[in-house]
């Protein structure tokens, strides 16, 4: 709900569980409050910054802009904190003074060419500066079922000369106090999204990506949580970007005791020049709030993703259970090897076979073939049809791997169009995994990709696509872009990518698309608008997956991160974990297998059918349940997830002991979130406990019996 009180010039935005208030004073759009519902008709302007010290720059009779909480901080009129917006006039002027000029309420607001949250009502507030010749429309979308606000900005050159944008973040959030810790998610290939919590310091702390991808190194998410906040208690604010290219999020502990959280497109190597009348849209950023600690904040993001971002046709529907041949064969396969995997899947509950990298062009290793989306006839002389027919004969669907944005120098595509690969004049392009990136900012390159991929999808019965992307962009430059677009290549790449998604993914509504980027290196809210799930990580070791899936869940629901059972010793880190644990951890997301089923020991193979039946029985918990992180593997010796059905009729608890210690202390793992008054039966033991008991003391655990990486899984049903 969006309200404007004309008398006090106050906006109150109400989402379920959170309100956001702002007001206009001296023409400035000031932030007043974001948090748990309160009476926003109380005069919150009384909490504004105090009259400034005489050293502060300000107009007579006003409070310095350095003291106030601002909705759209810009540079040049006394606010010395990090600005959200920075411009340069034709003569290099940097001063801008944005003042309230009007507002409107729109429904079904969408961003042009970029993904955004689906919300019913959006407030658009216009700020303008006639001297600089710029107006900024700030968009605020509210949600009636999630404590979150989505924000973006549209910048228009209203002057007569050129206007250069040198920073265009999506949003800024000023909080009136600085009692917070900052949580961000850092990582790398095979160890994506590791949580890192540090006190907010005075000064600017930032995380970013300069890779033309949201990246594994840092994830476009940050949370400010009260210093003593836990998983279950304390105020927590989060910011996540609906964006998949180079980004930045900054947090500034200011000298007046306030904190500013802001971010959007990375302003590193970015600028955009607008001619008179031209506009520029920022991507969307989402702020969420919870007074129920970090866990509550995560659940707010989870609901937001499932209800307002993920493709509605797939968001909460049962997922394919796949067997993928990557770790089974890598590039070394023929019909015989693939058929043995497909045959072994029959009757196991696995319903989709996914043929990974290596089926096309001259692809026998990673040195050749990318870009040539025609079947590798040396390997598969009769094409894909025999594989698809074999799948259908065994009751399976068929999925196929693509890496549409890439090209190997050793490919027909590169030989025909060497200029289509991104490079910078005078520099030999760097290879990464022996491949280059196609310049998808160019329409003719996109047209080619769209027709090549769509042709394969049209000519073959393909139910599932895994869309991979295995390198970052270097030598940012586009030979074809006009000078203006070259200034913001990384953003143009994002726009090109989203155009590809629309023309391939949305044009094939019956195909299920899984995102991937050398594991989970492009896992963000922008991708999730197109892909219901993303390959979480190339690390399939259950031990590492406990860490990776724990960190990923800070912002992203279990339904979005695919998890596969693979063989031991694990191919990435050599670790051996019990088969049952690999299965338990892989059941905490859309599940599958990444191994040669025909080579599994018979006792493991015999378990697969039962494993998949078990997964299907409670898949709704993965797709739409509330997640409680009940044991933190970064803080102790156990990983624990509890998934609770929204109606609290059932739950599933998974605990993994990491390293065994002789005679170790038994942890108590409380299980919150169930109906305190209701009794629940534990399927595995038959024991019955009430929700309040479970929330206080958890379940009895046979902790001492558990060895390294043993898992305990308990399914609870309300009786």
Closer residue to ligand DGJ (CB): 535 or 703: 535
Binding mask 301-340 for ligand DGJ (x = CB under 6 A): -------------------------x--------------
374-433 binders of ligand DGJ (CB under 6 A): 401
CA distance 360 to 363: 6
Burial 448-487 (b: 16+ CB within 10 A, else e): bbbebbeebbeeeebbbbbbbbbbbbbbbebeebeebbbb
Q: Which stretch binds ligand DGJ (CB under 6 A): 266-274, 389-397, 513-521, 668-676?
A: 513-521
CB of 283 to ligand DGJ, least distance (A): 25
3-state SS, one letter per residue, for 451-511: HHHHHHHHHCCCCEEEECCCCCCCCCCCCCCCHHHHCCHHHHHHHHHHHHHHHHCCCCCCC
Residues 492, 478 contacting (CB under 8 angstroms): yes
Kindly state whether residue 518 participates in binding ligand DGJ, applying the rule CB under 6 A.
yes
User: 553, 469, 493: which is closest to 299 by C-alpha?
Assistant: 553
The residue whose two tokens read 């996109």 is 446
Closer residue to ligand DGJ (CB): 251 or 521: 521
CA distance 710 to 603: 18
CB of 520 to ligand DGJ, least distance (A): 8
User: 499, 507, 536, 532: which is closest to 519 by C-alpha?
Assistant: 536
* CA angle (491, 496, 498) in 5-degree steps: 95
Active site annotation includes 479: no
Q: Which of 71, 121, 192, 357 binds ligand DGJ (CB under 6 A)?
A: 357
Q: Which of 82, 174, 356, 372 binds ligand DGJ (CB under 6 A)?
A: 356
CA distance 205 to 253: 9
Q: Which of 353, 464, 535, 653 binds ligand DGJ (CB under 6 A)?
A: 535
364-367 own/partner pairs: CB under 8 Å, 24+ apart: 364/331, 365/331, 366/331, 366/408, 366/433, 366/434, 366/435, 367/408, 367/410, 367/434
CB of 518 to ligand DGJ, least distance (A): 5
Q: Which stretch binds ligand DGJ (CB under 6 A): 114-122, 253-261, 370-378, 511-519?
A: 511-519
Kindly state whether residue 352 participates in binding ligand DGJ, applying the rule CB under 6 A.
no
Give the interface size with ligand DGJ as a residue count (CB under 6 A): 11
CB of 298 to ligand DGJ, least distance (A): 24
Q: Which of 292, 538, 539, 596 binds ligand DGJ (CB under 6 A)?
A: 538
Closer residue to ligand DGJ (CB): 84 or 516: 516
> Facing residues of 218 across strands?
186
Q: Which stretch binds ligand DGJ (CB under 6 A): 63-71, 314-322, 383-391, 515-523?
A: 515-523
CA distance 399 to 468: 13
458-497 binders of ligand DGJ (CB under 6 A): 468, 470
Kindly state whether residue 539 participates in binding ligand DGJ, applying the rule CB under 6 A.
no
Closer residue to ligand DGJ (CB): 29 or 328: 328
Closer residue to ligand DGJ (CB): 423 or 540: 540
Closer residue to ligand DGJ (CB): 433 or 681: 433
CB of 367 to ligand DGJ, least distance (A): 12
Angstrom distances, CA of residue 419 to CA of 426, 491, 618, 622: 13, 20, 51, 45
3-state SS, one letter per residue, for 366-377: CCECCCCCCECC
Closer residue to ligand DGJ (CB): 253 or 358: 358
Which of 538, 596, 618, 626 is flagged as catalytic? 538
CB of 194 to ligand DGJ, least distance (A): 18
Give the HSE-up count for residue 653: Cα atoms under 13 Å, Cβ half-sphere: 26
Angstrom distances, CA of residue 681 to CA of 580, 617, 699: 22, 16, 11
Which of 468, 541, 596, 618 is flagged as catalytic? 468
Per-residue DSSP letter, 625: P
Q: Report the SS3 class of residue 6.
A: coil
Catalytic residues: 468, 538
Residues at the interface with ligand DGJ (CB under 6 A): 326, 356-357, 401, 468, 470, 516, 518-519, 535, 538
């Amino acid at each position: 709900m969006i309200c404007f009180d004309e008398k006090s010039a106050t906006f109150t935005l109400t989402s379920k569980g959170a309100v956001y208030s702002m007001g206009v004073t001296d023409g400035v759009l000031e932030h007043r409050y974001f948090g748990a519902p309160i009476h926003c008709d109380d005069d919150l302007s009384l909490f504004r910054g105090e009259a400034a010290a005489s050293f502060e720059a300000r107009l007579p009779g006003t409070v310095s802009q350095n003291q106030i909480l601002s909705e759209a901080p810009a540079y040049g009129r006394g606010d010395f904190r990090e600005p959200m917006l920075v411009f340069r006039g034709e003569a290099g002027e940097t001063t801008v003074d944005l003042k309230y000029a009007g507002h409107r309420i729109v429904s079904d607001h969408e961003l042009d060419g970029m993904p955004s949250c689906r919300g019913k009502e959006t407030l658009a507030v216009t700020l303008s500066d006639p001297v600089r010749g710029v107006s900024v429309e700030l968009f605020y979308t509210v949600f009636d079922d999630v404590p979150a606000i989505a924000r973006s900005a549209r910048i228009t050159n209203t002057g007569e000369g050129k206007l250069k944008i040198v920073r265009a973040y999506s949003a800024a959030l000023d909080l009136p106090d600085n009692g917070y810790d900052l949580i961000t998610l850092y990582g790398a290939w095979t160890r994506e999204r590791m949580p890192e919590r540090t006190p907010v310091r005075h000064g600017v702390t930032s995380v970013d990506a300069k890779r033309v991808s949201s990246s594994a190194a840092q994830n476009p998410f940050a949370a400010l949580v009260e210093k003593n906040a836990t998983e279950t208690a304390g105020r927590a604010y989060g910011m996540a970007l609906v964006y998949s290219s180079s980004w930045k999020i900054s947090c500034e502990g200011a000298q007046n005791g306030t904190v500013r959280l802001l971010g959007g497109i990375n302003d590193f190597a970015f600028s955009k020049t607008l001619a008179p009348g031209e506009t520029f849209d920022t991507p969307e950023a989402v702020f969420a709030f919870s007074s129920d600690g970090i866990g509550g904040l995560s659940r707010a993001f989870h609901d937001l993703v499932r209800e307002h971002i993920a493709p509605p046709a797939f968001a909460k529907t049962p997922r394919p259970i796949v067997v993928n041949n990557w770790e089974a064969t890598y590039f070394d396969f023929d019909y015989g090897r693939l058929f043995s995997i497909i045959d072994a899947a029959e009757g196991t509950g696995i319903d989709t076979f996914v043929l990974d990298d290596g089926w096309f062009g001259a692809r026998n290793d990673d040195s050749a073939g990318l870009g040539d989306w025609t079947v590798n006839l040396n390997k598969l002389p009769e094409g894909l049809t025999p594989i698809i027919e074999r799948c259908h004969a065994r009751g399976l669907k068929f999925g196929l791997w693509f890496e549409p944005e890439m090209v190997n120098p050793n490919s027909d595509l590169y030989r025909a169009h060497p200029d289509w690969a991104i490079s910078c004049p005078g520099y030999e392009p760097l290879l990464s995994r022996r491949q280059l990136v196609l310049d998808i900012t160019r329409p003719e390159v996109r047209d080619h990709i769209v027709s090549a991929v769509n042709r394969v999808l049209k000519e073959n019965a393909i139910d599932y696509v895994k869309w991979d992307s295995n390198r970052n962009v270097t030598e940012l430059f586009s030979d074809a872009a006009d000078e203006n677009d070259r200034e913001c290549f990384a953003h143009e790449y994002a726009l090109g990518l989203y155009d590809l998604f629309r023309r391939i993914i949305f044009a094939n509504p019956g195909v299920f698309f899984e995102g991937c980027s050398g594991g989970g290196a492009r896992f963000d809210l922008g991708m999730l608008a197109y892909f219901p799930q993303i390959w979480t990580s190339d690390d399939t070791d259950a031990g590492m997956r406990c860490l990776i899936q724990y960190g990923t869940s800070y912002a992203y629901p279990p339904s979005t991160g695919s998890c596969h059972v693979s063989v031991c010793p694990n191919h990435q880190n050599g670790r051996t974990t019990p088969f049952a644990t690999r299965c338990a951890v892989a059941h905490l997301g859309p599940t599958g297998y990444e191994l040669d089923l025909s080579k599994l020991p018979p006792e493991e193979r015999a378990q697969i059918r039962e494993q998949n039946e078990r997964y299907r029985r409670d898949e709704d918990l993965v797709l739409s349940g509330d997640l409680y992180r009940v044991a933190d593997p970064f803080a102790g010796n156990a990983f624990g997830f509890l998934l609770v059905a929204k109606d609290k009729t059932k739950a599933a608890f998974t605990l993994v002991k990491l390293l065994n210690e002789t005679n170790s202390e038994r942890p108590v793992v409380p299980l919150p979130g169930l109906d305190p008054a209701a009794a629940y039966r534990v399927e595995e033991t038959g024991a019955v406990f009430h929700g309040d008991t479970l929330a206080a003391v958890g379940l009895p655990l046979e902790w001492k019996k558990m060895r390294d990486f043993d898992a305990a899984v308990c399914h609870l049903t309300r009786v």
